[in-house]
């Protein structure tokens, strides 16, 4: 699995802008975190489908289903997905609803309604808007794809509950309001993705 790559420049920025987070960074150390669905940076369609497969099921179950898909299809491409029936797609262990989402995404790519390659030249907001237009893909999924599959540097997801828990723990807050969140976002920018890694670690119980 790919992990989000970062180095001393990002750490130096965050430590300068936020001393509280900086102390946590020093104690936690370098983080290598991957999502259970991301793939390499040059295979966004596969990453997208893997994201749908992994929704609302365990990491282990998602890996099992994905393994069946790769074995049955070889490369998980739009053409390969449209080359089998929806029933065959469900036979990999995919629900009826997810099978519809997956075929829908494949059809949009094949017909040219969605140009996967062009996403690399778009802004974060434009990517979220375009991917969220697909059935089964929401803002959070689009943001995770940008962070892990596209290595976008400034992703801090308001819709991620673990990010909120990490902020609550780090800053000793009972609640993170939208205004607070935006303040932290501005403080971390343009390295919100690295801040996300540390907030996830703190939410997961990392001692700092």
The DSSP string of 53-88 is HTTTS-HHHHHHHHHHHHHHHSS--HHHHHTS-HHH
Global pTM value: 0.88
| Residue 135 DSSP code | T
Q: Are 155 and 146 in contact (CB under 8 A)?
A: yes
Least trusted range by pLDDT, from 10-19, 27-36, 40-49, 115-124 = 40-49
Burial class for 185, CB neighbours closer than 10 Å (0-12, 13-18, 19+): middle
Tell me the per-residue pLDDT of 91-140, one tens digit each, with 9 for 90 and over: 999 999 999 999 999 999 999 999 998 999 999 999 999 999 999 999 99
Q: In the predicted model, what is the mean pLDDT of residues 170-191?
A: 97
Share of the chain above pLDDT 70, in %: 94
């Amino acid at each position: 699995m790919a992990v989000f790559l970062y180095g001393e420049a990002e750490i130096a920025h965050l430590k300068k802008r936020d001393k509280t987070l900086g102390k946590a960074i020093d104690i936690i150390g370098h983080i290598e975190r991957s999502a259970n669905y991301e793939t390499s940076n040059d295979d966004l369609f596969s990453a997208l489908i893997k994201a749908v497969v992994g929704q609302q099921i365990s990491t282990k179950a998602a890996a099992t289903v994905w393994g069946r898909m790769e074995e049955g299809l070889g490369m998980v491409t739009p053409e390969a997905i449209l080359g089998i029936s929806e029933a065959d797609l469900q036979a990999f262990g995919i629900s009826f609803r997810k099978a519809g989402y997956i075929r829908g995404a494949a059809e949009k790519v094949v017909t040219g309604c969605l140009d996967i390659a062009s996403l690399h030249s778009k802004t974060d907001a434009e990517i979220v808007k375009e991917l969220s237009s697909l059935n089964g893909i929401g803002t959070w999924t689009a943001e995770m794809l940008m962070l892990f599959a596209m290595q976008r540097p400034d992703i801090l997801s308001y819709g991620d509950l673990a990010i909120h828990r990490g902020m609550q723990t780090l800053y000793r807050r009972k609640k993170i309001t939208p205004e607070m969140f935006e303040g932290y976002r501005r403080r971390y920018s343009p390295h919100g993705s690295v801040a996300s890694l540390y907030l996830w670690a703190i939410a997961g119980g990392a001692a700092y």
